[in-house]
Amino acid sequence: MTREYSTEEIADKDRRFVWHPFTQMQEYMAADPVIVERGEGIQLIDVNGRAYYDGVSSLWLNVHGHCVPEINAAITTQLDRIAHSTLLGCANVPSACLAEKLVSLTPASLTRVFYSDSGSEAVEIGLKIAYQYWRQQGDDHRRYFVNMTDAYHGDTVGSVSVGGIDLFHRVYSDLLFPTLSVPYPHPYRFDGTPAECARHCLDELDRVLAERHSEIIGLIVEPIVQGAAGMIVMPDGYLKGIENRCREFEILLLTDEVATGWGRTGPLFACEHEAVKPDILMTAKGLTGGYLPLAATLTADHVFDAFLGDYSEQKTFFHGHSYTGNQLCCAAALASIDLFEKRNLIDSVRLKSETLAARLQEFANCAQVGDVRGKGFMWGVELVRDKATKLPYGWEERMGIRVCNRCRELGMILRSLGNVVVFMPPLASSEKEIEEMIGILHRAIVEVTE
């Protein structure tokens, strides 16, 4: 296939006109970008024909690989019918079918689907629904969400407010609403056993709930794995402990499955690990197999019912976006879910993730690897300056970035979170591909840190 512009011309357009997300543009503009032209299976092919493993699933979302014929066909079939019509007071075929499917696949407490376009919006919507829910019960007193230290729920002002990563918070602090923050259990950085770590964190939550429960709207948590904080895995029983307390103190439980959903941690949704039934659940990323931007906020009956009433009562949820419930996105999601079922993907993830976990755990022998942690296909390798004291590398040493840069030279795209190198390959990766990707990662870590 011939291209209209040369590689240099595209690089020039990119440097001059595109502002890249989460990217220091001064550095970016000084380097040669990887310009992706197409995808084949779990590889990205650049404009020069060089192939790279997509080791972070194009930012934690790709499931079945790229250019999957079944998903391509579903999108083009839908395109021949219609690309988009509004969902404001009007229905469409794929969004109705997908909503039924989502309700059948998510925890049994959830019965309604509100669509949006990104994980951040799905969270924003969950927060607004939870807030309005209490007001429509005549309870105007509740104004706080309980959130977790180091949480990440997206980049809109509301979702940043319930986040806990100082780097993303600091500059916007005047814009954010206050929350009641409780510690998220981080066993590697806790002086004690994982069970003691969970106990300590639940005690803190108990204290906040006992003192403030009548002012609390709900609690928001990334279930099982806290992603952007550095792939931190909760100790067993902690999520259930949270759910029990939400029930005891009658506050809403919001689970953010934007990153953990769609088989990332093993089961289809991370809540399933501990049979947790939230009042509100947010999903995005892998929902369309990583093809198109679609997100959903699911709610329980009692939440939805609080919004029903005569028009004049003004209980409507006055929220929506231009592309809410877009047909192409919903068609892609239905095709992706179909593939989950046809390919028994959840069973195969269970098997492959055992090999993946065992191979990654071997990294613990590397001199500068402090911790290897994860679940399913969601892993982080924490690099430390001193293993005995767990002393982190300084920000200016850019150790995570350097390892990712070396991986790129060796043929795999990764992104780090500070000193934690994230490894989240597409669920469709074969054992052989996993082996090759892990080989690249190991070589990069050894070469850069030793």
Q: Which residues bind ligand PLP (CB under 6 A)?
A: 118-120, 123, 152-154, 222, 227-228, 256, 258-259, 284
Cα(262)–Cα(102) distance, integer angstroms: 11
Q: How far is the CB of 260 from ligand PLP (least distance, A)?
A: 7
- Cβ atoms of residues 302 and 296 within 8 Å: no
Q: How far is the CB of 23 from ligand PLP (least distance, A)?
A: 14
> 351: burial class by Cβ within 10 Å (0-12, 13-18, 19+)?
exposed
Q: How far is the CB of 205 from ligand PLP (least distance, A)?
A: 19
Q: How far is the CB of 222 from ligand PLP (least distance, A)?
A: 5
Q: What percent helix, strand, coil does the chain show, rounded to 5?
A: 45, 20, 35
Q: How far is the CB of 285 from ligand PLP (least distance, A)?
A: 6
Q: How far is the CB of 122 from ligand PLP (least distance, A)?
A: 7
Given the complex with ligand PLP, which of 258 and 276 has the nearer CB atom?
Answer: 258
Given the complex with ligand PLP, which of 41 and 278 has the nearer CB atom?
Answer: 278
Cα(48)–Cα(69) distance, integer angstroms: 24
Q: How far is the CB of 272 from ligand PLP (least distance, A)?
A: 17
Given the complex with ligand PLP, which of 165 and 306 has the nearer CB atom?
Answer: 165
- Cβ atoms of residues 450 and 365 within 8 Å: no
The amino acid present at 65, given as its one-letter code, is G
For residue 391, the tally of other CB atoms under 10 A from its CB is 11
Q: Point out the residue whose Cβ comes nearest to ligand PLP.
A: 119
- Cβ atoms of residues 318 and 277 within 8 Å: no
Given the complex with ligand PLP, which of 41 and 55 has the nearer CB atom?
Answer: 55
Given the complex with ligand PLP, which of 168 and 307 has the nearer CB atom?
Answer: 168
Q: How far is the CB of 21 from ligand PLP (least distance, A)?
A: 9
Task: Please say whether the dihedral angle defined by the alpha carbons of residues 174, 156, 211 and 217, taken in this order, is positive or negative.
Answer: positive
Given the complex with ligand PLP, which of 41 and 107 has the nearer CB atom?
Answer: 107
Query: Strand runs (DSSP E) across 260-413, as ranges?
Result: 280-283, 295-300, 369-375, 378-386, 391-392, 412-413
Q: How far is the CB of 281 from ligand PLP (least distance, A)?
A: 12
Query: Strand runs (DSSP E) across 117-250, as ranges?
Result: 144-148, 180-182, 216-221, 225-226, 232-233
* DSSP bridge pairs for 373: 380
Given the complex with ligand PLP, which of 287 and 384 has the nearer CB atom?
Answer: 287
- Cβ atoms of residues 179 and 144 within 8 Å: yes
* Residue showing tokens 């970035």: 401
Given the complex with ligand PLP, which of 228 and 334 has the nearer CB atom?
Answer: 228
Given the complex with ligand PLP, which of 303 and 422 has the nearer CB atom?
Answer: 422
> 28: burial class by Cβ within 10 Å (0-12, 13-18, 19+)?
middle
Cα(365)–Cα(373) distance, integer angstroms: 14
The amino acid present at 10, given as its one-letter code, is I
Given the complex with ligand PLP, which of 47 and 414 has the nearer CB atom?
Answer: 414
Given the complex with ligand PLP, which of 285 and 359 has the nearer CB atom?
Answer: 285
Q: How far is the CB of 295 from ligand PLP (least distance, A)?
A: 7
In sequence order, the 6+-apart residues with CB closer than 8 A to the CB of 145 are: 127, 130, 161, 162, 179, 180, 216, 217, 218, 219, 220, 254
Q: How far is the CB of 100 from ligand PLP (least distance, A)?
A: 23
Q: What is the DSSP string of 229-246?
A: TT-EEPPTTHHHHHHHHH
Cα(230)–Cα(236) distance, integer angstroms: 18
